[in-house]
């Protein structure tokens, strides 16, 4: 039986990825560095330090002789300056209803202060567990963030459902042994093909979450197959 719902933040709860990408683009340009915005979307869900490190290495930067912390600090300031917080209304409306039936968590790869600010401003009092990229040693696609949420719930992984919108998050949910429901907010449906269930948009996402009684049998079967696959 499903007892816990775990939500990614950027692209699932709040329409914020364009601001993350724009902030990084501004900082990279100011420092004379180049980056491909699509790389940020492709790595969505990963910890900030992992995304920035990848972008720098792709540009040929030697991380051993570079002020990585300084760049990340500048990115945080730029993000805070330009971001306009906007929750996905469909999710905002259904979460109080879901909270009556399930434990709720948000698991994000973003920095702790960004996650806390967004959740406090848009979803205050909704989530039982909040995990940022700074709260785990290994971020998505490792299963650690989702397993940590289940542990804080006091639940088994098989009792949790993950809502994701990024390939890294889908992989992490699969590796955690959790049913994964995905919505293609910023990426193609093809990139999310490994999710257990894929919906077209946030309205469909809300409808499925509110109808989880019908989804539980599907989730149970998917988790059974994942378990037997892992034993081979």
Helix spans in the chain (H):
17-30, 37-42, 48-58, 68-82, 89-99, 112-122, 144-153, 167-176, 202-210, 212-231
**Of 8, 111, 144, 196, which is the active-site residue?**
8
Give catalytic status of residue 10 as yes or no.
Answer: yes
Distance CA 170, CA 106 (A): 15
Angle among Cα 146, 99, 10 to the nearest 5 degrees reads 50
| Residues whose CB falls within 8 Å of the CB of residue 151, separated by 6 or more in sequence, listed in order | none
**Of 10, 111, 144, 196, which is the active-site residue?**
10
Residue located via tokens 């999310």: 192
Give catalytic status of residue 8 as yes or no.
Answer: yes
The residues that are catalytic are 8, 10
């Amino acid at each position: 039986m499903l007892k816990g719902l775990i939500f990614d933040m950027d692209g699932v709860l709040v329409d914020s990825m364009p601001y993350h990408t724009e902030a990084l683009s501004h900082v990279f340009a100011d420092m004379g560095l180049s980056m491909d915005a699509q790389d940020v979307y492709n790595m969505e869900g990963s910890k900030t330090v992992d995304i920035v490190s990848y972008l720098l290495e792709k540009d040929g930067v030697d991380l051993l002789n570079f002020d990585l912390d300084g760049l990340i600090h500048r990115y945080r300031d730029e993000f805070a300056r330009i971001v306009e917080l906007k929750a996905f209304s469909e999710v905002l409306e259904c979460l109080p209803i879901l909270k009556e039936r399930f434990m709720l968590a948000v698991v994000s790869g973003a920095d702790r202060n960004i996650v806390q600010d967004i959740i406090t401003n848009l979803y205050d009092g909704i989530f039982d567990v909040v995990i940022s990229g700074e709260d785990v040693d290994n971020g998505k696609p490792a299963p650690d963030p989702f397993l940590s949420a289940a542990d804080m719930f006091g639940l088994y992984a098989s009792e949790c459902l993950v809502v994701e919108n990024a390939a890294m998050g889908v992989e992490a949910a699969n590796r955690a042994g959790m049913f994964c429901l995905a919505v293609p907010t910023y990426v193609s449906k093809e990139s999310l093909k490994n999710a257990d269930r894929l919906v077209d948009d946030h309205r469909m996402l809300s409808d499925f979450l509110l109808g989880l009684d019908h989804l539980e049998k599907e989730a149970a079967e998917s988790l059974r197959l994942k378990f037997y696959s892992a034993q081979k």
